[in-house]
Amino acid sequence: MSQPLQAIRGMNDILPADAELWEQFEEQVRDWLRAYGYRPIRMPMVEPTPLFARAIGAVTDIVEKEMYSFEDALNGEKLTLRPEGTASCVRAVLQHNMLYDGPKRLWYMGPMFRHERPQKGRYRQFHQVGIEALGLPGPDIDAEQIIMCARLWDDLGLTGIRLELNSLGQPEERAQHRAELVSYLEANADKLDEDSRRRLHTNPLRILDTKNPHMQELVDGAPKLLDFLGAESLAHFNGVQTLLKDAGIHFRINPRLVRGLDYYNLTVFEWITDQLGAQGTVCAGGRYDGLVAQLGGKPAPACGFAMGVERLLALWRDQGNQYEADAPEVYVVHQGEAAQRHAFKAAERLRDAGFAVHLHCGGGSFKSQMKRADGSGAALAAIIGDDEAAANQVTLKPLRDEGEQRRVAFDELADTVGAWLYEWDDEDGDL
Ligand code: ATP
Ligand code: MG
């Protein structure tokens, strides 16, 4: 036999126990988004390559080296697996003229693709929940989006996620700062590492974000973008901070927070944990007022963020959240042909009444079937043999709580199961 095939490196299967945790997370996320008035949007996973070069920036890490791009074999069109959602979302908003009747709050969730070196918290297919608010210029929406995040951490019971905040100002302010930064770095060219020398004239702001410990002193002494902000940019930044303080949200201003995508201006932020090792940023975003026009639309302000689902779930799990698999309420065992047909009816009748039912398939002795029933975590076994089938009855046996097994008429099955489960819930104080 040949070796079984493997998934692509950095692209993971999410097996049932994990997938159930994901679903639980997604339910919380949907409730949370509804509470802030965000509506869902679903974009294709493949887009024309130029969309990303234009939106994210040609000299960013993502576009330079992380994109899965290929040519459509049939017509030669250049295509890319989306590395993020903002570009697609804005494209969709423009394509469908969605801003014609005012601002929009949108969210999406799904896989993103980046050709990075796989490691803990960094994958080639990973998932994001992203939100975008389009058409709103003020610091209020920036602040609300950040406050939103804090609420989600709270909803999920997550602790130890800190907020870093910065303002990138406007393009003219950045240009002034950039000129001074480049002359400062040129004057210190001997202290730059190879990566930084390469970026010096393409993306010097990113040099400030270096992880190289030998460059920290150099970077600390560099001209700070915040010192180049004009009155309007400062007022916007202060507006965000005031609303965050009102909401009791702690933050640190990090003048070196620049983000890896070119489209940001004014507010940028990251939520970071120290509990996941090197890949500690669980959520990142900010304002990108220039993007709509850059993609050919009538200028419109916008801001949003994306969170990394794998990283958040790793943290959720590390902080003790275990998903308990949803056990069926009833496990139906049966033996003999007449009993099997009766069992199918009983199972469907119970499902009609809203119960989760696992009908045993695959035969086997009653003993082995009862073992399966026990293992399933079901509260009750419904046992059907030839006797029950002939008498149009079902035997019910409690599997986890006290109680005598009892035989009931088929028509009373659902009510009896309901009464039994209700009684136990009551005793457990669950109601
Ligand atoms: P990083 O600095 O970790 O590479 P980034 O700045 O490239 O992050 P964004 O493009 O802002 O990340 O994406 C938002 C979030 O998506 C990140 O904060 C992170 O939680 C998650 N994320 C990004 N890339 C990956 C990846 N390759 N694997 C898993 N999660 C990722
Ligand atoms: Mg990255």
Dist. CA 318–CA 277, nearest whole Å: 12
pTM for the whole structure: 0.90
Angle at 76 between CA 72 and CA 82, to 5 degrees: 45
Q: What is the atom index within ligand 1 of the atom nearest the CA of 84?
A: 10
Tell me what percent of the chain is helix, strand and coil, each rounded to the nearest 5: 45, 20, 35
Q: Specify the pLDDT at position 428.
A: 66
Is 222's C-beta closer than 6 angstroms to any atom of ligand 1?
no
Lowest mean pLDDT among 92-96, 200-204, 395-399: 200-204
Is 286's C-beta closer than 6 angstroms to any atom of ligand 1?
no
Tell me the CA–centroid distance for residue 197 and ligand 2, in Å. Answer: 20
Is 276's C-beta closer than 6 angstroms to any atom of ligand 1?
no
Q: Which of 116, 263, 272, 281 to mutate to test the pocket of ligand 1 (most atoms within 8 A of CB)?
A: 281
Dist. CA 70–CA 80, nearest whole Å: 6
Is 82's C-beta closer than 6 angstroms to any atom of ligand 1?
no
On the question of pLDDT at 221 being above 60, the answer is yes
Is 308's C-beta closer than 6 angstroms to any atom of ligand 1?
yes
pLDDT digits (tens, 9 = 90+) for 35-61: 999 999 999 999 999 999 999 988 888
Q: Which residue, judged by its Cα, is nearest atom 19 of ligand 1?
A: 308
Is 123's C-beta closer than 6 angstroms to any atom of ligand 1?
yes
Q: Which residue, judged by its Cα, is nearest atom 8 of ligand 1?
A: 281
Dist. CA 22–CA 311, nearest whole Å: 12
- Say whether 323 sits in a helix, a strand or coil: coil
Tell me the CA–centroid distance for residue 394 and ligand 2, in Å. Answer: 59
Is 66's C-beta closer than 6 angstroms to any atom of ligand 1?
no
As given in the structure block, the two tokens for residue 145 are 């989006």
pLDDT digits (tens, 9 = 90+) for 237-293: 999 999 999 999 999 999 888 876 678 899 999 999 999 998 999 999 999 999 999
pLDDT digits (tens, 9 = 90+) for 375-393: 999 999 999 999 999 999 9
For residue 112, which ligand has an atom nearest its CA? 1
- Chain centroid to Cα 226, Å, comes to 31
DSSP category for residue 387: H
